[in-house]
Amino acid sequence: MTPTIVYLHGFRSSPQSAKATRLAQAVASLPARLRPVLHIPDLPHRPSLAMAAIARIVAAVDHTRLCFVGSSLGGFYATCAAERYGTRAVLVNPAVSPWDELRPHAGVQTNLHSGASFEVTDEHFAELRALAVSRITRPDRYLLLVQSGDEVLDYRQAIAFYAGAWQRLEGCGDHAFSGFDAQIPAILGFCALQRA
């Protein structure tokens, strides 16, 4: 049975992000018999709509070979989805409490790739809080990748929240996760495993 990977981009990002592009290239370069199905949805900026978009993908695939990969805010969504559907997830410098972490970005924002503008309001924060996972129920289903040089999010919050999960902490780095390409084999390997 072919694994399915769903890559979830971060705040103000898109499927054209560097990490999404590199993951897609790595998957495309695999031999056909080893190649997972890869979905990289363009997530709406509203959290409730983003989760609805994720739910539409999940409805069309086999949950037993499904893995989410999420970066930053996408890591938060990946955690919500993994808990909801009982799947694996890889988190790359994930947001842990985005209703607080995104508060400084309230107001008009611009998508980094499309240039489209959108407004971050109190409704965004309320929707994010409503999605919150109080704790992960199966730490073994998670792979956490963080860099201590993340200038946007405090990596220590992720280390604590994903306690018991597979964790890889690198010194220095940044929020974009420098050297992401080197992590792709581990990501693909983790996603290819059967659900425990």
CATH number for 10? 3.40.50.1820
Structure tokens at 98: 């985005």
Q: Cα dihedral sign for 191, 11, 39, 61? A: positive
**pLDDT tens-place values along the chain, 196 residues long:** 788 999 999 888 889 999 999 999 999 999 998 899 999 999 999 999 999 999 999 999 887 889 999 999 999 999 999 999 999 999 999 999 999 888 888 888 887 778 788 888 999 999 999 999 999 999 999 999 999 988 888 889 999 999 999 999 988 887 889 899 999 999 999 998 654 4
> Given this model, what pLDDT does residue 170 score?
83
> What pLDDT does 66 receive?
95
Residue 24 Ramachandran class (φ > 0 left, ψ -120 to 50 alpha, else beta):
alpha
**Tally of domains in the chain:** 1
pLDDT given for residue 196 in this prediction: 40
Report the sign of the C-alpha dihedral through residues 77, 57, 53, 85, in that order. negative
How buried is 109 (Cβ within 10 angstroms: 0-12 exposed, 13-18 middle, 19+ buried)? middle
* Exposure string for 18-43, b = 16+ CB within 10 A, e = fewer: ebbeebeeebeeeeeeeebebbbbeb
* In the block, residue with structure tokens 């994720």: 54
pLDDT, residue 109, reads: 81
State the pLDDT at residue 104: 86
Residues of the chain by 3-state class (helix, strand, coil), percent to 5: 40, 20, 40
User: Which has the closest alpha carbon to 171: 146, 148, 150?
Assistant: 148
Contact 109, 13 (CB under 8 A): no
The contacts of residue 94 (CB under 8 Å, 6+ apart) are: 70, 71, 72, 74, 75, 76, 78, 79, 144, 146, 153, 158
> Given this model, what pLDDT does residue 105 score?
81
What is the pLDDT at residue 195?
45
Residues 6+ apart with CB under 8 A from 48: 127
Domain that includes residue 90, residue range: 4-192
Q: What is the pLDDT of residue 157?
A: 95
